[in-house]
Amino acid sequence: MIQHLDELLELAGKTKKMKLAVAAAQDEDVLKAVCEAAKLNIIEPVLYGDLSEIREIARKIEMNIDSVEMHHCSDVKEAAAQAVDAVSSGSADFLMKGLVDTSILLKAVLKKDAGLRTERLLSHVMVYSPKTYHKLLMLTDGGMNIAPNLQEKKEILMNAVEVAKALGAEPVKVACLAAKEKVDEKMEATIDAAKLVEEQKKGVFGENVIVEGPMAFDLAISKEASRIKKFNSPVAGEADVLLVPNIEMGNGIGKTMTYMAQAESAGIIMGARIPIVLVSRADEFKTKLNSIALGSMIAMCK
């Protein structure tokens, strides 16, 4: 398995170059990351948006985009529609959000005639490289689904397993997080976690996947905590994926990873036929670049 996001960038640059459709590319930070990813041979970008604005940004940041394929769009809705059409038709391999509202882009993705919908729920997967952990750690879903039910958690977990396998995790070790390790009828997170373990035993999540839960966060990432609490599991202290029961826990862990653990990160939306790179405008340049590389690796496995 890839152990650090720098390894992801290196590996993505040595494999097949994937075609990335960028919706509303007239965003300075997005354009910087896209052009750097192209320079590293990770992607071949196709830009959709206001060409005069894109060219002005490129001039401002002294970036040569003369050889980049570009398509003018009168507004962000048209840019989203054209970028989605590109991946739908197969002329691009995956999609990235530029200066367009998430709701507009996802509405275009989910249109029936776009052909990008699957039976799965769309969900967000963050990949972190904490300095205090020995490998990459995936977190889902701290960005899209507020309070998923059991069926939705199954689909969120399937999406995360796909990301983990694209990064080379084998087996994929999943910790279903809760506040305690015993099933408690008053705590839905513990009940759902136990049911997800049973689903894994039935093979619902595919081969080479180990699901454990309910588990507290410390047991998922610390072998020492697991030893002290006498919690024996192949996932204890070795989790690849943290499945959270609600968006509050996911958001809190994610922010802690970024601001307290100083973890580099990458984010992706899964559940559609292609991965969608959807980053916040507040995200650092490296996060955007890492996310493009992550999307490329997943797209290659599709």
More confident position, 129 or 281 = 129
Q: How many CB atoms sit inside 10 A of residue 57's CB?
A: 21
Tokens 């008053």 map to which residue?
186
**Mean pLDDT value across the chain:** 95
Residue 166 token pair: 């694209």
User: Which domains can be identified in the chain, with CATH numbers?
Assistant: 5-117+273-301 (3.40.50.10950), 123-264 (3.40.718.10)
Phi, psi (degrees; rounded to nearest 5) at 113: -75, -5
Give the pLDDT mean for 239-252: 97
Q: What is the DSSP string of 217-268?
A: HHHHH-HHHHHHTT---TTTTT-SEEE-SSHHHHHHHHHHHHHTS--EEEEE
- Which pLDDT does position 282 carry in this prediction? 75
DSSP 202: T
User: What is the pLDDT at residue 202?
Assistant: 96
* Residue 10 pLDDT > 90: yes
Mean pLDDT over 269-283 rounds to 91
Rounded Cα–Cα distance for residues 180 and 169 (Å): 26
Select from 124, 144, 137, 125 the least CA-distant residue to 263: 137
Cα distances from 217 to residues 168, 180, 226, in angstroms, run 23, 9, 10
| Mean pLDDT in residue range 30-59 | 96
Q: What is the pLDDT of residues 174-206, one digit of tens each?
A: 999 999 999 999 999 999 999 999 999 999 999
Task: Give this prediction's pTM.
Answer: 0.95
The confidence band for 58, taking pLDDT boundaries of 50, 70 and 90, is: very high
- Distance CA(144)–CA(155), nearest Å, equals 13
Q: What percent of the chain has pLDDT over 70?
A: 100
Query: What is the rounded distance in angstroms from the CA atom of residue 263 to the CA atom of residue 266?
Result: 10
pLDDT digits (tens, 9 = 90+) for 86-103: 999 999 999 999 999 999
What local confidence, expressed as pLDDT, does residue 289 receive? 96
User: What is the average pLDDT across 146-172?
Assistant: 97
